[in-house]
Structure 1
Amino acid sequence: MPDLSQTAPQSRTIPRLALIALAGATLLAALGISIVSVALPTLAGAFSVSISGVQWIVTAYLVSVTVMVVIAGRLSDRYGHRRILLSGLCIFVLSALLCAVSTTLQMLVAGRLLQGVGGAILMVVPMSIARETIARERMGSAMGLLGSMSAIGTALGPSAGGILIAAFGWRASFIALAVLALPVALASLVAIPRTVIAKTQHLGKRTAVLSTIGSRRLGSGLAMNVLVAVVMISTLSIGPFYLTFALDLHVAAVGIIMSAGPIMSAISGVPAGRATDRFTTSTVITAGLLTTIFGLICLASLPRLFGVAGYVVALCLLTPGFQLFLAANNTEVMMSAPEDRKGTTSGLLSLSRNLGFIVGASAMPGLFSVAAGSGAIQAVSPEAVAFAFTATFLGCAALALLALLLARAFHPARLQ
């Protein structure tokens, strides 16, 4: 973990325990999504519902998070980041316990909707607190650390959830979320400094949001965030089809191979943050997008040449590009935020990412299906699946190129 507790200019310091609390909150938000996904087959059997019905357990959390992220950011601007973070942790704990004692699917979905409110706060407020308490020259490392914790949560959730469910049943996964949140809440209460609430908070929520988006630097950063999120979710939503129907792998093998991306993201997050501190954010954004484009071209071609080895190598080349972009772009956007709208800006960052995930999860499988040809995927030949996979990720490379063009258009002097 990078040392971000050094004395910073303008009294911007943060205790190491507070940094651990911010990292823990980010980890919990990611675990809230990933740890439950592995429980869906068990939950379908426990409640005697269809796959589409049990999917609402995941969808409810994502919808709630998407609706709440900007609201959570605005609330933290108005009432103080520390206070709202502690409220979010309390909501997260109580909702996890509600999920754990649920006796019907409807009760569990309601608990997940409430948990999404807490999850939205845990996604948004740590970046706001980092923006407020960490010196500019160390912001990149902070954003890289938070990005690593999000990736660790995504990678750790399915395996940890599988172990807990196998040993103690599905309720254990929700109890574990509540138990993990308690030390994070205690560390936040003890170590995170109180927010100095800005005096310009008479602006309405709509005015504050529109004013924030209206900034050229912020607007371009949010637009690039949407495009990169579309690409990121495509690796998770399209990859299993290729591995299963083109390479004929068992579901367990598919899961292991797919974990290479989140693991590589977790490893590269902190170095990406340090690179952002050392170089300009524009330079690292450019490097990240170029690496992403190269990685996507490799993902479109190497698996067809080298099979599983090519797939894993391409993922390992691609995901550091994501982390370089995210660390630098998050730093750029947050450092561009007005002092009284740090929470709103952080909420917009999370909203843009979630919107990209939603668009990517619906549009890119559609592109893949069209490229593969009509009919059920089980009836499509491995060659057609491989062609569709290549076409889809070349399309993703085009989206990453569009993000690079946006970066150059809105920051031309800084990218030369």
Structure 2
Amino acid sequence: MANVAEKVATESNWIDGAATPTRSVRWALASLSLATLLSSLGTSIASVGLPSLMQAFGASFQSVQWVVLAYLLAITTMIVSAGRLADIVGRRPLLLAGIALFTIASALCALAPTLGLLIAARAAQGLGAAVMMALTLAFVAGTVPKARTGSAMGLLGAMSSIGTMLGPSLGGLLIAGAGWRAMFLVNVPLGLLAFALAWRALPKDGRSGPGRSAFDTLGTVLLGLTLAAYALAMTLGKGSVGLLNLALLVVAALGVALFIVTELKVETPLVRLAAFGDRMLTASLAMSVVVSTVVMGQLVVAPFYLSRALGLDPATVGLVMSTAPLVATLAAVPAGRLVDRFGAQPTMIAGLASLVLGTVALSSIRIAFGIPGYVVPVLALSGGYALFQTANNAAVMGAATADQRGVVSGLVNLSRNLGLITGASLMGAIFAAASAGADSATPSATLLGMQVTFRFAMALALFALGLAVFCRRAATRSKERAEA
């Protein structure tokens, strides 16, 4: 971990343009790397445990789905606010508080006697993860030369992918050996280590006056309620759409309207809506939502296909599912170099084309294909995701001015997590409906659910690819007009 952090610091000229990082900087980067790993581990490790949680609590697929959704919802609600809150209380104390909350909540997850308490503890864990995700970026923002933006994004993406990669395999092994509680308990010693490293190595920072950065409490509450209504609409009813689902969608739509009105009126809004006037930024954020939806859908649906259609045990399911984040991890750094060499937009289009190929193959999957029938398409899907994510982040952050980096970073994180919530809820609902109820699906019904889900994912991937091609052509035309 320290070696990875040292590489990041060397390439980023971390402090005052120094070519070689100091020992304290290496320790600081090690603590930030571990915090990044923990927050991504929290997302992926629970997905592989959903079948075991259904059995342990005698609950439905839609109910245990909230073990994933609660975590994502808390992150999405808090991640934009975390940077502004850090201006009030200071980055270092807030990051330490976030790590502490994540660690304590992990222990509560492991001790939860009921599904409701587990979901509540996961929400608290997500709040801690949101602070960790937002402030690790805040500590390093603005230190990387523009020419090395792609490489830096690739390295940071690799740390996140390592956490995602460890989740399915580690979770599967822990469930098989010690039960589902172990997949939450493992975060406790790692969280304590991250807290100790951060306490020792992170520099103290001052706090601003309250007038400089007021906290948008109303905007945060409205965003959380809107996302909760949307997620409930996508999960209630076992995949069928009833009056309650429609009513919740109406509530979510009203919540969006109220949120927009609120953000236009408050002095320090949670999301600065003027940023959406940039069409390229808006397109990049939309593609991020769509691609994250596809990737999260794969994480949620795949455990049921592997366990119920292919008959794999939890440990094997975890090992097979680790293929996706492993590929994303290995591809992240080369993806950054491709961005630096060929540009962000060509790399982005190549990544989305690979994503389309992966979804096409998964939509045609057969039980007779066995494990390779799942793994091979995932290679294309995950490699494409790594290319897209690195290129998209580099394009968005590279175009942001110094005084807008915090706002744009918040929007990027928000778009990604909106996609994760959509993937966990909408794709799960499609799978449940297509397989005639994921609670007791037969292998053939599970196969059908998998195919239908990835046909929808294929349509989303094609939309993102078309949008990327359009943006590329628009940028080319703008450049030609400027030169003329």
* Band the TM-score falls in, shorter-chain normalisation: 0.7 to 0.9
Q: Which residue of 2 aligns with 1:233?
A: 296
1:89–1:367 Cα change, 3 Å? closer
Q: Which residue of 1 aligns with 2:462?
A: 401
Q: Which residue of 1 aligns with 2:384?
A: 321
Equivalent in 65, 74, 93 of residue 64 of structure 1: 74
Equivalent in 101, 121, 125 of residue 111 of structure 1: 121
Q: Is the 8 A contact 2:74 2:123 kept in 1?
A: yes
Q: Following the alignment from structure 2 to structure 1, what is the Cα–Cα distance between the partners of residues 443 and 49?
A: 31
Q: Following the alignment from structure 2 to structure 1, what is the Cα–Cα distance between the partners of residues 431 and 50?
A: 25
For 1:64-85, what per-residue CA distance to the aligned partner results, in whole angstroms no more than 9, with x for missing partners?
2222121113324565544432
Equivalent in 284, 296, 301 of residue 359 of structure 2: 296
Equivalent in 9, 19, 25 of residue 5 of structure 1: 9
Q: Following the alignment from structure 1 to structure 2, what is the Cα–Cα distance between the partners of residues 311 and 75?
A: 43
Q: Following the alignment from structure 1 to structure 2, what is the Cα–Cα distance between the partners of residues 198 and 24?
A: 27
- Which segment is superposed worse, 315-324 or 252-261? 252-261
Equivalent in 91, 94, 103 of residue 84 of structure 1: 94
Q: Following the alignment from structure 2 to structure 1, what is the Cα–Cα distance between the partners of residues 53 and 326?
A: 27
Q: What letter matches 2:96 in structure 1?
A: L
Q: Which residue of 1 aligns with 2:229?
A: none
Equivalent in 210, 220, 244 of residue 283 of structure 2: 220
TM-score by length of structure 2 reads 0.71
Q: What letter matches 1:30 in structure 2?
A: S
Which runs of 5 or more structure 1 residues have no equivalent in the other structure?
none
Higher RCO (CA < 8 A, seq sep 6+): 1
Q: Which residue of 2 aligns with 1:412?
A: 473
1:133 aligns with 2:143: yes
Q: How many residues align?
A: 412
Q: Following the alignment from structure 2 to structure 1, what is the Cα–Cα distance between the partners of residues 156 and 122?
A: 23
Q: Which residue of 2 aligns with 1:276?
A: 339
Question: How much has 1:381 moved relative to structure 2?
Answer: 8.0
Q: Following the alignment from structure 2 to structure 1, what is the Cα–Cα distance between the partners of residues 432 and 109?
A: 36
Q: What letter matches 2:311 in structure 1?
A: L
Question: How much has 1:225 moved relative to structure 2?
Answer: 0.4
Question: How much has 1:279 moved relative to structure 2?
Answer: 3.0
SS across alignment from 2:7: coil
Q: Following the alignment from structure 2 to structure 1, what is the Cα–Cα distance between the partners of residues 422 and 334?
A: 29
1:57–1:385 Cα change, 3 Å? closer
Q: Which residue of 1 aligns with 2:311?
A: 249
For 1:243-272, what per-residue CA distance to the aligned partner results, in whole angstroms no more than 9, with x for missing partners?
456x54334454443332122222222222
Q: Is the 8 A contact 1:33 1:61 kept in 2?
A: yes
Q: Following the alignment from structure 1 to structure 2, what is the Cα–Cα distance between the partners of residues 300 and 161?
A: 26
Question: How much has 1:353 moved relative to structure 2?
Answer: 1.8
Q: Is the 8 A contact 1:29 1:122 kept in 2?
A: yes
Q: Is the 8 A contact 1:144 1:271 kept in 2?
A: yes
1:275–1:11 Cα change, 3 Å? farther
Q: Following the alignment from structure 2 to structure 1, what is the Cα–Cα distance between the partners of residues 106 and 64?
A: 17
Q: What letter matches 1:88 in structure 2?
A: G
- Which segment is superposed worse, 264-273 or 57-66? 57-66
SS across alignment from 1:206: coil
Q: What letter matches 1:407 in structure 2?
A: A
Q: Following the alignment from structure 2 to structure 1, what is the Cα–Cα distance between the partners of residues 277 and 286?
A: 12
1:151 aligns with 2:161: yes
Q: What letter matches 1:286 in structure 2?
A: I
Question: How much has 1:399 moved relative to structure 2?
Answer: 1.6
Q: Is the 8 A contact 2:28 2:197 kept in 1?
A: yes
Q: Following the alignment from structure 2 to structure 1, what is the Cα–Cα distance between the partners of residues 179 and 302?
A: 29
Q: What letter matches 1:291 in structure 2?
A: S
Which runs of 5 or more structure 2 residues have no equivalent in the other structure?
215-265, 478-484
Question: How much has 1:224 moved relative to structure 2?
Answer: 0.7
Q: Following the alignment from structure 1 to structure 2, what is the Cα–Cα distance between the partners of residues 92 and 226?
A: 25
1:36–1:404 Cα change, 3 Å? closer
Question: How much has 1:408 moved relative to structure 2?
Answer: 3.4
Q: Following the alignment from structure 1 to structure 2, what is the Cα–Cα distance between the partners of residues 226 and 114?
A: 24
Q: What letter matches 1:227 in structure 2?
A: V
SS across alignment from 1:134: coil
Q: Is the 8 A contact 2:158 2:328 kept in 1?
A: yes
Question: How much has 1:326 moved relative to structure 2?
Answer: 0.6
Question: How much has 1:122 moved relative to structure 2?
Answer: 1.7
Q: CA RMSD in A?
A: 3.9
Q: What letter matches 1:3 in structure 2?
A: K
Q: Which residue of 1 aligns with 2:238?
A: none
Question: How much has 1:333 moved relative to structure 2?
Answer: 2.1
Which aligned pairs between 1:352-367 and structure 2 lie closer than 5 A?
Answer: 352-367=415-430
1:330 aligns with 2:386: no
1:317–1:171 Cα change, 3 Å? closer
1:161–1:317 Cα change, 3 Å? closer
For 1:130-168, what per-residue CA distance to the aligned partner results, in whole angstroms no more than 9, with x for missing partners?
322222233323322332233322332344345556666
TM-score by length of structure 1 reads 0.81
Q: Following the alignment from structure 1 to structure 2, what is the Cα–Cα distance between the partners of residues 363 and 105?
A: 21
- Which segment is superposed worse, 310-319 or 342-351? 342-351
Q: Following the alignment from structure 1 to structure 2, what is the Cα–Cα distance between the partners of residues 215 and 69?
A: 22
SS across alignment from 2:311: coil
Q: Which residue of 2 aligns with 1:345?
A: 408
